[in-house]
Structure 1
Amino acid sequence: MQPASPEPARTADAPAFSTGRFRAEREADWIAFERLLTRLEKRGAKALTSDELLELPLLYRATLSSLSIARATSLDKALLAHLEALSIRGYFLIYGVRETRRSRIRRFVLYDWPAAVRSVWKETVVIAMIILLGALTSYSLVANNSEWYYNFVAEDMAGGRDPRASVEYLQSTLGHGNAAKESESGLHVFATFLFTHNSRVSIMSFALGFAFGVPTMMLEYYQGIGIGAMIAVFAGKGLGFDFGGWLFIHGTTELFAAALSGAAGLRIGAAVVFPGARSRLRAASEAGRTAGKVMVGVIAMLLVAGLLEGFGRQLITDTVLRYAIGSAMLLFWLAYYYIPRREDVA
């Protein structure tokens, strides 16, 4: 029986791998790389000299080499995590596509926002029809029985614009007639109420969309109720055309925004009800990203409507000009949203 051969002795020229030695040899490169990345993140490429820009990819490759060795030799987890995070930062800053804030805003305004609105066009048509149905319902009820008006519009908010008002008073509230200045405060009351009401309902329509879209459709129907009732009062006094101009100058923007907010909420509700092959949570999440882009635009539209209401409608008293401005705004929004962009086609 042969004796077991002795284990080979560890030679002096093959020392054990040492984490401390590995760090001491390479840590200077990691520190230098991290400093350059920090300056690049804060102030951009202009913060680096030409030599530092040339050095940046070399330090990145050196960090990747250190990461590869760290993974192969099972070094401590803290060092491994640090090198992985540093490598990811370096990749995105050196090779990733970086957009300036101005470029991102430009992309959103020119492409992302209109594309999101176009994607919910079916929901927009549905909500627009619901708003119209609400207006037609209240209009027909008030036109046949004026007492219905007080169920749709609060008396303190109507500011005297009710079936009991005279033609002269109603005309003055629209910025016409000798009593226009006297009723200007009343005009502001109803205008503020209408804008605040529509804005609040628009935001709630979106926020409650997750409940299968039912509250969204109910709120949008309610949105049209007050408008239809008020039109019935003015039309009954022979002032329907004038009231339409008073409402039209800002209403095309404001009601368009209301329809879009409802469409955004309805998109989420439809995704919850009909998720398809996806889970309901995932379907709602994907719909929410599109709806969120639409709602950012809705806020901008409401701001524009507020400016038209606060200044344009008060300064412009000619009814035909009011219709012209409202029509121009409607055509602008339709063209802005629904004419495809070159990048969209590509």
Structure 2
Amino acid sequence: MDVDAYAAAHQAEWDRLEALVRRRGRLTGAEADELVTLYQRVASHLSVVRSSAPDVVLVGRLSALVGRARAAVTGAHTPAWREVGRFFTVSFPAALYRCAPWWLGTAAAFLAVCAGIGWWVATHPLVRTALLPPAAVDQLVEHDFADYYSSAPAAEFAFGVWTNNAWVAAGSLALGVLLGVPVVYILWQNAANVGVAAGLMVAGDRGDVFFGLILPHGLLEITAVLVAGGAGIRLGWTVVAPGARTRLRALAETGRETVGMALGLAAVLLVSGVIEGFVTPSGLPTWARVGIGVLAEVAFLTYVFWLGRRAVRAGETGDVAADERGDLLPTAA
């Protein structure tokens, strides 16, 4: 095939397609139809040139033109930064708000268990003796608890705390599908650990040290873990009682919300990890360190109940966009 003759025969079509692509945001209805037609035609030209006369320069030119025309016909993909922005301002807070009854209930139960175990340990010497030898209790109360927060460089410590807590949160979310049973076990372990540590510190007259070190980062950190736990239990309950939806559809919808929450909670736990690494062991007065923790917690709750409520009222569910969910078979009510 004579490449020059072929190019001369179709040059006008290629130039016209180039012009339409440049004006793609200002096309009339007829021009949009013409764009689609010329895109298909030039794609065929590219195929012919590749198979019959593989001229490198011409193939490169037509490939670039067809690629730009394809983007104009199908529509450019939403920029990644815009998707991330929408996730953190709409989808994630909506999912948190919709799940609030579950994680608020989980928080109430968690705190009750912590308080109960803490009181039991603090007021019963035999319980403390059964847990640890007196020398080990003294070492924990006088040194180990406070020294833990400065046991590594701040950045390294913050990263380690973040990854550990992110795994705990992700496990609570993912394991919820097993009827929520593993999630209850994870939360019980965490509540018992907090309660025992609080009881030992209070019994050793170091309650001020305990709360002064745990509250700066712990308010936000424990909230994030409890959100994950509540969402995991909700996922497990969806398996048991899907409501009017089919069990598979209910699990898919709730599961997508849950996965999205895992990504958002990783960011929340990163903030708490930074506070734990840089603020908790710092030389700031206790009131300042606790104040930073309180501000972080208030900011998170405001984020949930302001942005989240607004998003839900606008019809958001925290699920992915409708065109990304796949098709559903009709089912009888």
TM > 0.5 fold call: yes
1:49 equivalent to 2:17? Answer no
Measured after TM superposition, the shift of residue 316 of structure 1 is 3.7
> 2:311 and 2:204 mapped to 1: Cα distance?
51
1:125 aligns with one of 97, 104, 113: 104
Q: Is the 8 A contact 2:21 2:35 kept in 1?
A: no
TM-score, normalization: structure 2?
Answer: 0.67
Q: Is the 8 A contact 2:169 2:262 kept in 1?
A: no
1:246 equivalent to 2:225? Answer no
Q: Is the 8 A contact 1:130 1:217 kept in 2?
A: no
> 1:245 and 1:102 mapped to 2: Cα distance?
38
Aligned twin of 1:108: 87
Measured after TM superposition, the shift of residue 235 of structure 1 is 1.0
Aligned twin of 1:327: 294
Measured after TM superposition, the shift of residue 317 of structure 1 is 4.0
1:74-115 deviation line (CA, Å, top 9, x unaligned)? xxxxxxxxxxxxxxx989954758522221111111111111
> 2:160 and 2:200 mapped to 1: Cα distance?
17
Measured after TM superposition, the shift of residue 245 of structure 1 is 1.6
Aligned twin of 1:290: 257
Aligned twin of 1:164: 138
Q: Is the 8 A contact 2:162 2:273 kept in 1?
A: yes
For 1:140, the aligned partner's letter is W
Please, what is the CA RMSD of the aligned residues? 4.3
Structure with the bigger RCO (C-alpha within 8 Å, sep 6+) is 2
Q: Is the 8 A contact 2:215 2:293 kept in 1?
A: yes
Identify which range, 204-213 or 314-323, moves more after superposition.
Answer: 314-323
Measured after TM superposition, the shift of residue 124 of structure 1 is 0.6
> 1:128 and 1:152 mapped to 2: Cα distance?
26
TM-score, normalization: structure 1?
Answer: 0.65
Q: Secondary structure at the match of 1:163?
A: helix
Measured after TM superposition, the shift of residue 242 of structure 1 is 2.5
For 1:115, the aligned partner's letter is A
> 1:136 and 1:198 mapped to 2: Cα distance?
22
1:55-204 paired onto structure 2 within 5 Å:
57-61=33-37, 94=73, 98-146=77-125, 148=127, 162-165=136-139, 169-170=142-143, 174=146, 184-185=150-151, 198-204=165-171
> 2:33 and 2:184 mapped to 1: Cα distance?
56
Aligned twin of 2:328: none
Aligned length: 273
Aligned twin of 1:15: none
Q: Secondary structure at the match of 1:113?
A: helix
2:188 aligns with one of 221, 246, 251: 221
Judging changes above 3 Å, is the alpha-carbon distance between structure 1 residues 90 and 211 closer, same or farther for their aligned structure 2 residues? farther
Measured after TM superposition, the shift of residue 246 of structure 1 is 0.5
Q: Is the 8 A contact 2:177 2:236 kept in 1?
A: yes
